[in-house]
Amino acid sequence: MNIALIGIGYWGEKLEIAINNHPNLNLMYKTGSGPREKILSDKDVDAVIIATPIKTHYEVAKDALLHNKHVYSAKPLATNTRDMDELIAIAKDKGLHISVDYTTTFSSELPEIKNSIGLMGGAKVILMKNCNWGRFNEYDVYWLYASHMLAMLSLFKSLDDLKFEFSDIVVNNSICDIGYIKFDCGRISVSRLSHDREFQIDFHCIDGIVRYHLSEIFKLSISRPGSITRNWSPRCTRSFAWSDNGIEMSIKHFYNVLIGKEESNIQMARKVTEIISTRGGELDILQ
């Protein structure tokens, strides 16, 4: 299957590696954010993978779909539901697929996490933290980091069943640097002013706590009163960047969507966009 990669910066380089590592994908083109008519007009290109700046995702995705190309986009695909719905409608009309690279939702550890939560009596409270140094982007901490946590939360709770309340803690030039999102059974803490990468989820269960921490060697820990048991998968016994596993699994998922083996995550991506763009439904923000 022939791929065109649009976006050759930091994230594009990671996606290029993942594409080249997939046995059934062939990278025909890679380009920046400049003219793309020649690439999109090539009938041999089956799909376009987008790694351009956030503000261009919608425009590039729409252009690709109108040229009859499947689309895989860095998150978010668009920053309001109006644009998301337009892209979904175009794809449906043309029989095309769209996937969004919420890479943290693709992890070899997830089955073990879900199993551990079940053994501990189910998650009653979920506390999530995603912090990093990210003042390199014009978008706020909710788009940069909270979107990943909402995508992760969707694996354990229906986002449609939850109510969300946003609290801006530190704001600079109208952009939120540190904030919280409260929901019915927990909270998401996000910051783009942290020098250390923190990605942690604590599932408070009836019989103890299941902790998922991407930044540590032991990514999954189970704590019960009086004891702590640490578990890890074979992949966690070697050093690798926190996102590499998820990127390759996300690209694999996109291929499986194209061949009809798996369902696209586009509806989850739309819900995440709805929550952030409307600040939990409190405001009507079309960015």
Cis ω before 35 (30° cut-off from 0): no
Task: Please tell me the pTM assigned to this model.
Answer: 0.89
Tell me if residue 108 falls in helix, strand or coil: coil
Please give the Cα distance from 98 to 47 (Å, whole number): 10
Please state whether 22 falls in left (phi above 0), alpha (psi between -120 and 50) or beta: beta
Give the Cα separation of 270 and 276 in Å (integer): 10
pLDDT confidence bin for 34, thresholds 50/70/90: confident
| Sheet containing strand 47-50, strands side by side | 26-31, 2-6, 47-50, 70-73, 98-100
For the cut 90, the answer to whether the pLDDT of residue 171 exceeds it is yes
What is the spatial distance between Cα 175 and Cα 17, in angstroms, rounded to a whole number? 32
Distance, CA of 237 to CA of 214 (rounded, Å): 13
Maximum CA extent, the chain:
64
The per-residue b/e assignment along 257-287, b for 16 or more CB within 10 angstroms, e otherwise, is bbeeeeebbbebbbbbbbbbbbbbeeeeeee
Q: How far apart are CA 38 and CA 5, in angstroms?
A: 13
In degrees, to the nearest 5, what angle opens at C-alpha 55 toward C-alphas 253 and 19?
30
pLDDT for residue 229: 56
Residue 72 has pLDDT above 80, yes or no: yes
User: What pLDDT does 196 receive?
Assistant: 82
CA distance 160 to 271: 8
| Residue 169 predicted with pLDDT over 50 | yes
* CATH architecture for residues 109-232: 2-Layer Sandwich (3.30)
What is the rounded average pLDDT for all residues in the chain?
Answer: 89
Residue with the bigger pLDDT between 228 and 169: it is 169
Domain with CATH 3.40.50.720 in the chain: 2-103
Architecture of the domain made up of 2-103: 3-Layer(aba) Sandwich (3.40)
Residues 6+ apart with CB under 8 A from 107: 245, 246, 249
CB 182 within 8 A of CB 148: no
In the chain, residues under CATH classification 3.30.360.10 are 109-232
Q: How far is the CA of 183 from the CAs of 102, 106, 127, 219, 270, in angstroms?
A: 20, 23, 10, 25, 18
CA atoms within 13 A on the CB side of 155: 19
Spell out the residues 6+ positions from residue 244 whose beta carbon is closer than 8 angstroms to its own: 14
210-237 mean pLDDT: 65
Read off the pLDDT band of 33 (50, 70, 90): confident
Angle at 13 between CA 9 and CA 15, to 5 degrees: 120
Q: How far apart are the first and last CA of the chain?
A: 34
